[in-house]
Amino acid sequence: MITAYLLRDDRWTTQELTAEDSIPESTIWVDLYRPDDDERQWLSRFLYEEAPDEEDINEIEASSRFFLDNDGLHVNSLFPQRVGSEVRAINVFFLLQPNRLFTIREEDVGLIRLMRNYLRLGRVEVTRPQSLLVELFNLKVEYLSDQLEDVYTVLDTLSDEVFEADDLDEVFKQITLQEDGNGKVRLSLLDTQRGLRFIQRYYRRQLEDSELKDVKEMLSDIESLLPHTQFLFDKINFLLDAAMGFTSLQQNKIIKIFSVAAVVFLPPTLIASIYGMNFASMPELGWEIGYPLALGLMLSSAVGTYWFFKRKGWL
């Protein structure tokens, strides 16, 4: 699907395009969502090189993610997307030209939908593709900051549940989800930092002073957020160790009960074994009180052992 975003008389409008259409005048942004081969071929008509495919967009080498060529500034950037309780990192391709911004994405990205609404409502002042790219990155950094706050809030709740929950399976699941989410946020922050530094170094002449200021502020925000992700990793590891330790403690208590029960019943078992032997010369077998005496010995030995454990504080 191809969507063109046009700026006419300070108003943003959208127009759906097909592979047979040309790009309308006043188009600032062209967004390709899950493009097919025909739509990629359509994009290649406006480029010196072929339009990147999904494999190109997902490359991890810095030289493949950020570079300048005859077509303009190429930036592949990870955008976070929350799906239920999980956080996914989605690659979005940006091609910035002097008068137009192209984006290619294979999955829905909430921040792009948010930017579309902001443009429609006039909540952001964007008049050229360079400022549009900067605003998209600004939205991403703010969203990543909110994600870190959400992770901290969940971990703070889990801190109380680790020692109170009867079933720790859900606690372990939440800890794992928060670790994965924090990792995705950190990865997106590092990727955004690399992209902004590349723009600042090699594309600064094409940016206005206000846009350069925004880039510097975003880099400063990222520098402050990265140590916070490490703090969250440390907190996650602590909670995981605490949960594992608490689980081991509960298991040890169960094993302790079995061990005490075995020791308590050891003296009665010994007495029963002695009088269960079939020897001809056993005087107690002829006693009238032999049977109740044996039962009394077994009971008293069990009670005595239990009392001894109780007095020592082992129960």
- Do the Cβ atoms of 161 and 171 come closer than 8 Å? yes
For the cut 90, the answer to whether the pLDDT of residue 299 exceeds it is no
User: What's the average model confidence in pLDDT over 191-216?
Assistant: 88
pLDDT tens-digit series, residues 112-146: 888 888 888 878 888 888 988 999 999 899 988 88
Q: Which residue has the tokens 């800890």?
A: 175
Note the pTM of the prediction, 2 decimals.
Answer: 0.76
C-alpha to C-alpha distances, 38 to 16, 20, 51, 107, nearest whole angstrom: 15, 9, 11, 18
pLDDT tens-digit series, residues 139-186: 899 988 888 888 888 888 887 777 666 667 777 787 888 788 888 888
Strand partners, 72: 69
CA atoms 44, 46, 49, 54: torsion sign: negative
Which burial class, exposed, middle or buried, applies to 219 when counting CB atoms under 10 A from its CB (0-12, 13-18, 19+)? middle
What pLDDT was estimated at residue 287?
Answer: 75
User: Is domain 2-250 in CATH 3.30.460.20, yes or no?
Assistant: yes
For the chain, the structural domain boundaries read 2-250, 265-312
| Nearest alpha-carbon partner for 102 in 115, 113, 92 | 92
